[in-house]
Each structure stands twice: as C-alpha cells, then as structure tokens.
Amino acid sequence: MMLERSLSRHTIDAYERDLRKLESFLQLHKLEFSPMSIGIEQLEAFIHWLNELGLGARSQARLISSIKSFFKYLLVEDVIDRNPSDLLEGPRLSRKIPEVLEYEDIQEMLRAIDLSHPQGTRNRAMLETLYACGLRVSELTNLKLSNLFLDIGFVRVIGKGDKERIIPIGEEAIKHIRFYLEGVRNNLQCIKPEAENILFLNRRGGQLSRVMVFLVVKELAKIAGIKKNVSPHTFRHSFATHLIEGGADLKAVQDMLGHESIITTEIYTHLDNDYLRATIMQYHPRNKK
C-alpha cells in the first residue's frame, strides 16, 4: 500500500484497524481466521455483528471496502484462489450535502483572529490558504516552501496517493503568507531539521499537526459566533461551492480539488432554492419581459 499505491501512513493505519476488527470478531466467536478459510458466511455474520454494535452506515461501508481490498490483494498474490468478499454488499449511502460557510461567515472568522500575536499572523495565513486553494488539512500542514510560486500566483500541492496538482492562489492569501514568512517564520529561533522546508510551523519550530489546525478553526468559529459544525474541511467545501455558484466550470473545480472522479465533485452543485428560483426567473423565456 505504501510503495505501490503511495498511500499515507494515516490511511494504512485505518485499513489495519478495519482488519483488526474482523480478526477480533472471528476470535470472539471462535471461528477460523486464516484468510484461506474465510467464506462469505463469516463476512456476512461480521457485518451483522457490526449492525448490532450500532456502527454507522458510512463506517460499515469503509470497513467493507477495506476487507474487499485485502482479499483482492490476496487473490492477485495467489494466496487464495477465490475472493469471498465478491458478494459482500455494503449499506446504501445517501449523498450527504456538506456543511458550507457563507462568505460573510468566513470573513467573521478571519476578523476573529488576534493579529497582535505571532500565532495569529500564522493562523490568518493558514485560513486564507485553506479558503483560497480548497486544500485538505493534510495538504495544508505538508505545504512546502519549495512548492510556493507566489510571484506567479501558484502553489504545488501533493495530495492523496502522492498525486501532484498545481493550484492558483489569490492575492489576499499571498499577502498574508508573506506577512507570516517575513514577520513570524523567519524570526523563529529554532526550526527543527525535518521542518525546514515546511511552511506552517508551531511556536517550537516543528510541523503543525492536523489536530492543531482543527482546534484553531474550531476556536475561531466559536469566537465568531458561528453555530455550524466547522472544521478545516468546511473551508474546502466552501471553496468548491462558492466557485460553482459563481459559475466556475465543474471540471476545473475537480482538478483544483484533486478528485479522481467528477461524480465526487458534483455534490458541490447543490444550490439553495432562492438561487435556483432567481436563475429560472432570469433566464427562462416565459419569465422574460
């Protein structure tokens, strides 16, 4: 998974936890847990057990995906001669519309940042970058100085599966990144060797964690009085939604988000009824005066 598919340590750990759950079930029920012995009956019993434990549909779907990937790998490697997970069906998932911030909500969060402290300058640059580029939180924390091309308005991002994409970045985000670089980062007394090329650092000169970014965003949403469930990913959802509502091409948004399938990007085409009504009233020939 790491060498051939370039998956992150975080993703690999998630796969391993899923398989450990299957192992625990088989041991608990005193069933054979050699991969060569597992059949569809044991797998279906496992899913039934997860239902009884109250595991949500999305968690079940991810778990089933892990199991299918595992047995597919064993089949390719000739460890097994049949794939018992072929007939395993996951729960039907509704397409959940993501939480999105209004532009004014984002402005309120930015205004809530205390710029009198160095961390405030860093946090402003982080949020501006999240919203300007639609980054995942891991892409933000791994953003490298060598991948900034601010003079021409682009950043190079390494996304899931080590896939690279080039994203335009706006002047406001560039301005605050430069404020952070010149006023904060360049004045840090000690930068850890492994973080020398990382853009956003903590006060000890190390790379910021995903959890730290999450806590910063949560705290700013609270200060700004926003009642929605806001996370760093909310900025990514808002980036995509605001672009599409503004008339951006869906394929361009797909490329900027780094989605493999345009079906994933299509969820951002949800628009409120007032917007749809205004569009119909403006463009339908029967409504034109």
pLDDT tens-place string over residues 153-205:
999 998 887 788 999 999 999 999 999 999 999 999 899 999 999 999 999 99
pLDDT at 135 over 60: yes
Q: How far, in Å, CA of 15 to CA of 242, rounded?
A: 33
pLDDT at 94: 61
pLDDT at 246 over 90: no
pLDDT at 270: 60
The one catalytic residue in 15, 131, 180, 268 is 268
In a domain, 283, yes or no: no
Question: Could you tell me if 51 and 134 lie in one domain?
Answer: no
Active site residue 136: yes
Active site residue 96: no
The one catalytic residue in 259, 275, 277, 289 is 259
If one compares 267 and 18, the residue with the highest pLDDT of the two is: 18
b/e map of 142-180 (b: 16 or more CB within 10 Å)?
bbeeebbeeeeeebebbbbeeeeeebebeeebbebbebb
In a domain, 255, yes or no: yes
Q: Give 216-234 pLDDT, tens digit per residue.
A: 999 999 999 999 999 999 9
The one catalytic residue in 21, 136, 176, 242 is 136
In a domain, 166, yes or no: yes
Question: Could you tell me if 27 and 163 lie in one domain?
Answer: no
Q: How far, in Å, CA of 15 to CA of 151, rounded?
A: 41
Active site residue 237: no
Backbone angles phi, psi at 278, to 5 degrees: -60, -40
Q: Which region among 78-82, 258-262, 264-268 has the lowest average model confidence (pLDDT)?
A: 264-268
pLDDT at 151 over 80: yes
Question: Could you tell me if 111 and 23 lie in one domain?
Answer: no
Q: Are strands 164-168 and 154-158 parallel, antiparallel or unpaired?
A: antiparallel
The one catalytic residue in 21, 236, 237, 242 is 236
In a domain, 30, yes or no: yes
Active site residue 228: no
Average pLDDT of the residues of the chain: 88
In the structure, what pLDDT confidence band is assigned to residue 272 with cuts at 50, 70 and 90?
A: very low
The one catalytic residue in 144, 156, 160, 165 is 160
pLDDT at 103: 93
Q: How far, in Å, CA of 267 to CA of 33, rounded?
A: 39
Identify the domain containing residue 46 by its residue range.
Answer: 9-76
The single-letter code of the amino acid at 269 is T
Active site residue 178: no
pLDDT at 52: 86
Most confident of the ranges 12-26, 56-70, 125-139, 273-287: 125-139
Q: Give 85-128 pLDDT, tens digit per residue.
A: 988 887 776 666 678 899 999 999 999 999 999 999 999 999 99
Active site residue 82: no
In a domain, 288, yes or no: no
In a domain, 188, yes or no: yes
